Structure 1
């Protein structure tokens, strides 16, 4: 058993009962081929929660500072995280992400780039749009509907793959594409918040 699978099983055993996680639309995630899961970002728990609710193993970007600690850096690499320098264009991270998708894997992105402390949606960065336009990946919007409070129900909703044809045909920019992805995440939240 890989460290990723072990960590996923342990976290699932803890987080599912603590946050009473309800997963909706898991069947929308294709079983094969490159996939990008794009989620809103409301807590540090978001990456593990998306990780344990997805049927696919997910590769996540993590802030570069975490990899400066040798032990933690090695551990993060083993659980499919890779570094990104925040606040600048990180060509290495972009290349790594595209390579992950080229190999038919799943990339997990938080288009806002940072956590929303209020739970409100922030403006997405262009990165999610870049990966969506530069790859053949299926784009799966995901809404995490909180709050993260023990005993309260947490919903993780996966929408159907987005139709990217219109965006590609109109030669949409990476920012316009990221905005369109964010809009899908907002709609998922609106439709499942009751």
Structure 2
């Protein structure tokens, strides 16, 4: 935990120098309970913005396994317990580890699009976020990251209200519905993005 806080402090300092960083809606992330934090993904900086924006919970990010092969980056990711994942076919052990982390009180940070999208569009949400939310009996908090990513530009992180998924926790949900549930969740991210992008994104 100390190393995690240390890394987050360094990242916060660097972000404050390079960008005009603003977080709106910090009070919307509950201090306890099973929570999955989802966000749009348009740059490799998005996981950093996510870590820096959240102060009251420890975030456990998920990243594609290929990144762990990069020297230094891979080491740091392991130290803050980023979970490596095969985006095409997550292994059972990976899924179990993610569920264990959520149930232990940590917040899963995930990007439903699965990969970086173009600045002008959003990719369809992949079903994984719905699966994790249902299996771990988690609610979901949408985060919208709004910026051009240019040095000294504004970065506005909007944390939306919790999406209560109790209905799916108490009823059996066919896997065929995961895609639509995931997209419904992603739509909260998109809605807040569009609502708050004025003056930041042309």
TM > 0.5 fold call: yes
2:180 to 171, 176, 192: 176
Q: Distance in 2 between matches of 1:167 and 1:189?
A: 26
SS in structure 2 opposite 1:37? strand
Contact 1:61 1:108 in 2 (8 A): yes
Deviations 1:35-62 (A, max 9, x none): 1100000100000110011122211111
Q: Corresponding residue for 1:122? A: 123
Q: Corresponding residue for 2:193? A: 189
Contact 2:146 2:156 in 1 (8 A): yes
Deviations 1:119-157 (A, max 9, x none): 411001110111111112231001001111122211100
1:59-70 equivalent positions in 2, closer than 5 A: 59-68=60-69
Contact 2:139 2:166 in 1 (8 A): no
Cα shift at 1:104: 1.4
Runs ≥4 residues deviating over 3 A = 68-74, 165-172
List gaps (5 residues or longer) in structure 2: none
Cα shift at 1:191: 1.6
Name the TM-score, length of structure 1 as normaliser. 0.91
Name the TM-score, length of structure 2 as normaliser. 0.88
Aligned pair count? 194
Q: Distance in 2 between matches of 1:105 and 1:137?
A: 11
Q: Corresponding residue for 2:97? A: 96
List gaps (5 residues or longer) in structure 1: none
Contact 2:85 2:94 in 1 (8 A): yes
Report the CA distance shift for 1:167/1:136 in structure 2 as closer, same or farther (over 3 A): closer
Q: Corresponding residue for 2:137? A: 136
Q: Distance in 2 between matches of 1:119 and 1:110?
A: 17
Contact 1:35 1:101 in 2 (8 A): yes
SS in structure 2 opposite 1:120? coil
